[in-house]
A and B are shown apart, each in its own frame.
Chain A
């Protein structure tokens, strides 16, 4: 049953990828800008007309749109995602070589987020309308209001420049990961804490919680095995969406910390109208989102065995 469900979802993947590729191709062709001129201007020199024309020809930009899309699609079906206009390297290689850095940052950021959001969310639900709860509301407000670039620069200033405890930027040891992970995780934890709080309050108000307490179960057991497990369902859904977004690259954090991830690379590709990279990235993200959502749907069964997976959706 589960296998059938997974196979069905993976089949949908092809439809999704075809759809997004057509949409992305169409939209990117409609946006202003000449990739040839943008590429030649990278060295800081205004290129000659002849140079721009030669580059357009070299990049195949003079072919009709349908022909260009057809050639690209045919190549993709054979596993060739094309070459970056800017670097000349295979798109697949350019994305996959940067992906581990993004995965590393994502996992670290989510770990920070969960380690803050879980206790804060739970405690503010348990101690509703107390000082703890008000403090967590303030935390949520700050988290939602503070721009991540500001937070990142603040952390760099204190921990790297003033105290010299951590590196300013770049990727290397675990120490390099701390500040970017904190920047990413702190901002997200505020939202998740409030989401968990709301979910916990709803669950704690249910009759079965009262019944569990009446049966004499320890409070810890009631909270963890009964309340938290059910309260986590909406959090898991949000988590899946966040995971997908983060794996696509967090360009602000990557830029602030000069982290060599996918996000920074792709944003630069967008500015440079590097169409093969943009197209390849969109397919890559479609794959990530479908797989992550599939994993999230499957995980529901762990949190609530009553949930059935049918027809591509969880029920």
Chain B
């Protein structure tokens, strides 16, 4: 009823309006109730334990479409501006070598890699009978074309494989000799994976940009639908064991909750990538009878970086104090739900040949002794928001804030956008930060040469300011030492030194989670995040 100037204006409610009113009320109530009950329900009954991981008995591949859909958090299509066009996990391309489970290089496209006495030359003999996806053969000429491509485009040389490269010459149909101006004892390690991916010369244009990635891998690049799907099909002419899967699709799904929902709904079969399944999602996957959760120690480690260019962390005792104060086990058990390994080595323990363990011990009493001079000392701990989206860096920072507070540090946490974070580090505008680093090559120089050497690019670009002449000497010596045992000794010395000097303090080694539906068989992820696309197949 409306009133205007004291006059009652009666209104007749039409049927139309009455119905509208009822519908409106019902809709609002429905959504309200949905919101109230969200999250009240538990997961589907987890009456049974997850299925066997199916590798025990030999099962036959059934006659159903062998098509696998993998959900990932990023896009594996990298395009012509990258050196490889598609990510290595796609199994489209291969390299001269690959790293086995102990990070020891094994021949892949190269049958043999033989150094001369001082490792300034490497004779590489290619496997015969391998053809690229366009039908052209892998031979010395094709290898030379790839060498030219990378040396003309240093941005394609991700691992620095060609930093000391002097030239190459064809020594036979399948043999090429690589020449370096310094000994390169780690060449087989550097020539793995992204270190030197090989493509048919027909793949790239005059400038070396790949237009179509004709690799040699068990899968071929089929199609890319922007932001939606990267589609691969089986290479039936593959030189090695043929894949059972006929088609693999990688779907970029940026949001982790959506990724998991897609897996639960059966829209994807697998989630397998760095940070693909978050630690807190593990319990949901385990509670779903249709899914299998797996975990894997990978080659990524997580560190506290110190700005050693200014106080307080130009003081080695205070760096050691911080390292000793960090309760690594608590961080792994409480913040990572146990999915991680408390770090007692400077790099991943997977690198069995080189790693020294039992370092970086937690010792709060000794930490307090070392930090006696500290009193309300301000410390700026900067965290990249991009990294914090993939790993629980913010809670880790908060734990550090608390632990260092007990030593007398007044820690202020500052979240930063990724590019701003990199610039702040480069300018030395921080005291501490958190960062991951993936030990891609298995060559300790990939860590020491970059992070510890006073002119190492990560040391400089991340503002560590660490400079130790003795360490520099050991690093330079180890990088060119051909005798493996002597190399190991040198790196052992360096690791011991890092335990005392702590230019960067490792916190935990990454254990990545991945999940798949029960109908997926023989699926695993290796230490380099590479899925077993050759072995995997779809059951009923």
The answer to whether A258 touches B251, judged by C-beta atoms less than 8 angstroms apart, is yes
Within 8 A of A (CB), among B222-252: 225-228, 251-252
Which of these binds chain B: A13-21, A151-159, A228-236? A151-159
A156 touches B81 (CB 8 A): no
Contact A33–B419 (Cβ < 8 Å): yes
- Confirm or deny: A90 has a beta carbon within 8 angstroms of a beta carbon on chain B: no
Within 8 A of B (CB), among A88-136: 88-89, 94, 97-98, 116, 119-120, 122-123, 126-127, 131-132, 135-136
The 8 A CB mask of B129-164 against A (1 = contact, 0 = none) is 000000000000000000000000111111110010
Q: Which residues of A contact B21 (CB under 8 A)?
A: 123, 127, 132
Contact A161 B420 (CB under 8 A): no
Question: What's the least CB distance linking A22 to chain B, in Å?
Answer: 22
In angstroms, Cα B73 to Cα A44, docked, is: 13
- Do residues A48 and B80 form an inter-chain contact, with CB atoms below 8 A? no
A153–B259 CA distance with the chains assembled, in angstroms: 11
B24 at the binding interface (Cβ < 8 Å): yes
Name the residue on A nearest B423 (C-beta).
A32
The chain A residue sitting closest to B83, CB to CB, is A43
Decide: A219 and B23 in contact? CB cutoff 8 A: no
A133-B363 Cα distance, complex, nearest whole Å: 64
Contact between B157 and A48, CB atoms less than 8 A apart? yes
Residue from A48, A94, A161, A258 within 8 A of B252 (CB atoms): A258
Kindly specify which of A61-69, A70-78, A166-174, A277-285 makes contact with the partner chain: A166-174
**B261, A170: Cβ atoms under 8 Å?**
no
Q: How far in angstroms is the closest Cβ of chain A from B166?
A: 15
Closest to A193 in B: B24
- Interface status of B361 (Cβ within 8 A of chain A): no
Q: State which of A3-11, A49-57, A289-297, A306-314 sits at the interface with chain B.
A: A49-57
Question: Is A204 an interface residue, CB under 8 A from the partner?
Answer: yes
A58 interfacial contact with B, CB 8 Å: yes
Give every chain B residue within 8 A of A37 (Cβ-Cβ): 422, 461
* A255-B17 in contact (CB<8A): no
Which chain B positions have C-beta within 8 A of A123? Answer: 17, 20-21, 24
> Given the complex, which residues of B lie within 8 Å of A116, measured CB to CB?
27
Q: How far is the CA of A93 from the CA of B25 in the complex (A)?
A: 46
Per the CB 8 Å criterion, the residue count for chain B at the interface is: 73
Contacts of A271 in B (CB 8 A): 386, 417-419
Contacts known (A55-B155, A98-B227); A85 close to B38, Cβ less than 8 A: no
Minimum CB–CB distance for A253 against chain B, Å: 11
| B450 contacts partner chain A, Cβ-Cβ < 8 Å | yes
B515 to chain A, nearest CB (A): 14
> A161 vs B41: C-alpha distance in the bound complex, in angstroms?
13
Q: Contacts A37-B422, A138-B28: A171 and B261 contacting too (C-beta < 8 A)? A: no
Q: How many residues of A contact B (CB 8 A)?
A: 78
Q: Could you mark each residue 26-63 of chain B with 1 if its beta carbon is under 8 Å from any beta carbon of chain A, else 0?
A: 01100110110010010000000000000000000000
Determine if B81 and A39 form an interchain contact, defined as CB atoms under 8 angstroms apart: yes
In contact, A168 and B422 (Cβ under 8 angstroms): no
A170 close to B226 (CB less than 8 A): no
**A-binding segment of B262-270, B304-312, B473-481:** B262-270
Is A51 a contact partner of B458 (Cβ separation < 8 A)? Answer: no
- Does A88 lie within 8 Å of B158, measured CB to CB? no
> Chain B contacts of A85 at CB under 8 A?
81
**Is there contact, CB below 8 Å, between A88 and B437?**
no
Bound Cα distance from A260 to B25, whole angstroms: 35
Are A164 and B265 interface neighbours, CB within 8 A?
yes
Asked if A153 and B257 make an inter-chain contact with CB atoms under 8 angstroms apart, the answer reads: yes
Question: Closest residue of chain B to A261, judged by CB?
Answer: B227
8 Å CB contacts to B: which residues of A159-198? 160-162, 164, 167-171, 186
- Residues in A with CB closer than 8 Å to B31 are 142, 186
**How distant is the Cα of A220 from the Cα of B83 in the complex, in angstroms?**
67
**Distance between Cα atoms of A36 and B82 in the complex (Å):** 11
Contacting residue for B157 out of A50, A160, A167, A260, CB 8 A? A50
B512 CB → nearest A CB, Å: 12
The answer to whether A47 touches B158, judged by C-beta atoms less than 8 angstroms apart, is yes
Contact indicator A210/B440 (Cβ below 8 Å): no
- Given A54-B155, A120-B24, A132-B21, A157 contacting B38 (CB threshold 8 A): yes
B418 to chain A, nearest CB (A): 6
Residues of the B chain whose Cβ atoms lie less than 8 Å from the Cβ of A164: 265
Report the separation of the CA atoms of residues A33 and B418 in the bound assembly, to the nearest whole angstrom: 8
CB 8 Å contact bits of B444-475 with A (1 = contact, 0 = none): 00000010000001100100000000000000
Are B81's CB and A47's CB within 8 A? no
CB nearest to B23 among chain A residues: A119
Tell me if B254 is interfacial: C-beta within 8 Å of chain A. Answer: yes
B334 interface contact, C-beta 8 A: no
User: Cβ of A303: which chain B residues have Cβ within 8 Å of it?
Assistant: none
Indicate if B405 sits at the interface (CB-CB under 8 A): no
**Which of B2, B25, B261 lies in contact with A204, CB distance below 8 A?**
B2
Select which of B38, B254, B258, B457 is within 8 A of A49 by beta carbon. Answer: B457
Residues of B within 8 A of A (CB): 2, 4, 9, 11-12, 14, 16-17, 20-21, 23-25, 27-28, 31-32, 34-35, 38, 41, 74, 78-84, 87, 153-160, 163, 194, 209, 225-228, 251-255, 257-258, 261-262, 264-265, 267, 274, 386, 417-420, 422-424, 437-438, 440, 450, 457-458, 461
**24 pairs from A and B in contact (CB 8 Å cutoff):** A33-B423, A34-B419, A42-B74, A43-B87, A43-B158, A45-B158, A45-B440, A46-B450, A48-B159, A48-B163, A51-B154, A51-B155, A51-B157, A87-B80, A87-B81, A123-B21, A136-B24, A170-B267, A171-B228, A186-B31, A255-B255, A258-B254, A258-B258, A265-B227
- Which A residues are within 8 Å of any B CB, using their own CB? 31-34, 36-40, 42-55, 58, 85-89, 94, 97-98, 116, 119-120, 122-123, 126-127, 131-132, 135-136, 138-139, 142, 146, 149, 153-154, 156-158, 160-162, 164, 167-171, 186, 204-205, 210, 213, 219-220, 255-258, 260, 264-265, 271, 273
Taking A88-B80, A168-B265 as known contacts, 6 extra A-B pairs with beta carbons closer than 8 A to each other, sorted by chain A number, are A31-B419, A33-B418, A47-B158, A98-B227, A154-B38, A258-B255
